[in-house]
Chain A
């Protein structure tokens, strides 16, 4: 099981704890990674606002690189995944458009043939590793912990671009992984809503109100922590939770965990090696409830 690893910008920027936790967890499960160092940012939907063709060109370039490596792409960010999936669909649906994009790539000696597979780590765990195999790796089941899933918009919408018809299991993949790790799923309506991050610098009040709504809802339903496959959601839900608490004149203190961190915890890995000490909302209390066998 080998993938061309697209780490995205944030896993080595604003969420530096994500990258090592992915690498450690993948190594333990037997997922081999070859990092795509030369791949550019996906555009995250922002570049696409200005110029969709530009965003699609950058993503087609990444697809062509993965094809040349002969590997499927692994993403670790809902936004990267969604942006790539959308570009993938536009190119697949329109051969003439793909030919035009390939003309742009030709200068670099690249050609995208349209055969790349792009999968988030979350989907890889469910579809390629398999939940039964994942369970076999669990040495420290997270029994007694209540975890609220939080997907991130781009890995859940629009379903047409994300292959939900061929892969209906993607719709509740995060809940199934949480269960496989031994934790209890906290069902809450906010799990597929927006974290507010895209408008953080544009309308902070609204953005932070979204953080407050989701974290307070989850907490009210008894969640000990929230789990997300999206580092952008993490930046807002964790990084701006103190502001959200202040804005709603309450305390929240809900730890927000990256997906691989939760998987790692259930496999008895060292919390520090997964950067669980780097969160804005302390994970100490939560970790005291997880038996670590290392």
Chain B
């Protein structure tokens, strides 16, 4: 099979500023992976190409990079699945991290954030004489999230991180879920308070990039949603994120559909005048264009049946 790898190159020691793209034409086997092709380039064509890999079996997590714009473990990505009509495959280093050289990203911001969520058990009371016991059944729900191999793919493609480097990000928050859910940990409330602060669980946009790109099915976003629910349940609900979720639910329960006019008011709080005044220009612009939601909100026909479903299911998971 013929393939053209279009590789983003960057050499910090080069006199030329910035990065550039370089094409490599190769003949590869039909079953070759993107990593096979990159290694072939490095060994047979251009020894200056820098990339990182180790196990070549999607266990170590070191070969994450972007293929055609999306983060992947290149050792488990077959060329035939990503090759374009013109035989080209675009290969770039991970996003949202500084680049060391070519396809090698600097994982320091990744590890800093994992450390920030305090990824160690924090039990209360005196230590037991022997080991801490965790019955199998209490750990089962954590097996999915414990499959994380720290490859950084989710962080690379996180849309919230793209605009805010302070966001803890999907990998660290999935790890946060893992420690919060461990029966040997007693720091639950401290953790929930910390994870709910600025840059935490409420800053996720729910875009599902992390769910899509995770090579291990960890589904970080779903863990973040669970952390949000746990935070609300524990009473950490005095913030716009929690109020938004609660208000959305109340409004749909009431009329079967969303009342878009009341949602921001309930989210910010009726007496949060600075925030509400901040909405005014947007509201006035919409009003001028005849784009406002109806002032008198209409329920759907049979809204009481929707309410009945809420009453039956609320509180049950």
A residues near B (Cβ < 8 Å) are: 9-10, 12-17, 37-41, 43-54, 57-58, 61, 104-105, 107-108, 153-154, 157-159, 189, 193-194, 196, 198-199, 201-207, 209-210, 213, 239-240, 242-243, 277-280
Contacts and interface: CB of A to CB of B under 8 A. Distances in A.
A202 B257 CA distance: 21
A37 B205 contact: no
Given A49-B245, A58-B252, A157-B207, 13 more contacts: A14-B260, A41-B252, A51-B249, A53-B316, A54-B313, A58-B309, A61-B309, A108-B305, A158-B212, A194-B207, A201-B244, A243-B282, A278-B290
Contact of A157 (B208, B249, B278, B302): B208
A153 B157 CA distance: 13
A41 B310 CA distance: 12
B313 A198 contact: no
Contact of B248 (A40, A46, A278): A46
A51 B317 contact: yes
A194 B291 contact: no
B66 to A, nearest CB: 10
Contact of B163 (A37, A43, A209): A209
A194 B313 CA distance: 31
Interface of B: 69, 159-160, 162-164, 167, 202-209, 211-212, 225, 228-229, 232, 239-241, 244-246, 248-249, 252, 256-258, 260-261, 263-264, 267-268, 278, 281-282, 285-286, 289-294, 300-303, 305-306, 308-310, 312-314, 316-317
The 3 residue pairs across chains A and B that have the minimum distance between CB atoms? A194-B207, A13-B293, A209-B163
Contact of A201 (B204, B228, B240): B240
B285 A242 contact: yes
Given A41-B256, A47-B249, A280 B314 contact: no
A254 B85 CA distance: 31
Contact of A107 (B211, B264, B291, B308): B308
25 contacts: A9-B258, A10-B258, A13-B261, A17-B291, A37-B301, A40-B300, A45-B206, A46-B248, A46-B249, A49-B245, A50-B245, A51-B249, A51-B316, A54-B314, A61-B305, A104-B312, A108-B308, A194-B159, A194-B209, A199-B160, A204-B278, A206-B205, A240-B282, A279-B291, A280-B285
Contact of A213 (B69, B162, B241): B162
B313 A104 contact: yes
B300 A39 contact: yes
Contacts of A10: 258, 260
B300 A278 contact: no
A53 B240 CA distance: 24
A292 to B, nearest CB: 20
Contacts of A278: 289-291
A157 B261 CA distance: 28
A41 B299 CA distance: 11
A189 B211 CA distance: 19
A210 B292 CA distance: 23
A47 B294 CA distance: 22
B301 to A, nearest CB: 5
A248 B278 CA distance: 17
> Which of A44, A49, A159, A203 lies at the interface centre, i.e. has the most chain B CB atoms within 10 A of its CB?
A49
A198 B267 contact: no
A242 B285 CA distance: 10
B313 A57 contact: yes
Contacts of B306: 40, 58, 61
Contacts of B292: 14
Contact of B202 (A43, A202, A205, A277): A202
Contact of B313 (A51, A193, A199, A207): A51
A53 B317 contact: yes
A54 B267 contact: no
A71 B270 CA distance: 43
B227 to A, nearest CB: 10
A242 B310 CA distance: 38
Nearest to A282: B289
> Which of B162, B241, B309 lies at the interface centre, i.e. has the most chain A CB atoms within 10 A of its CB?
B309
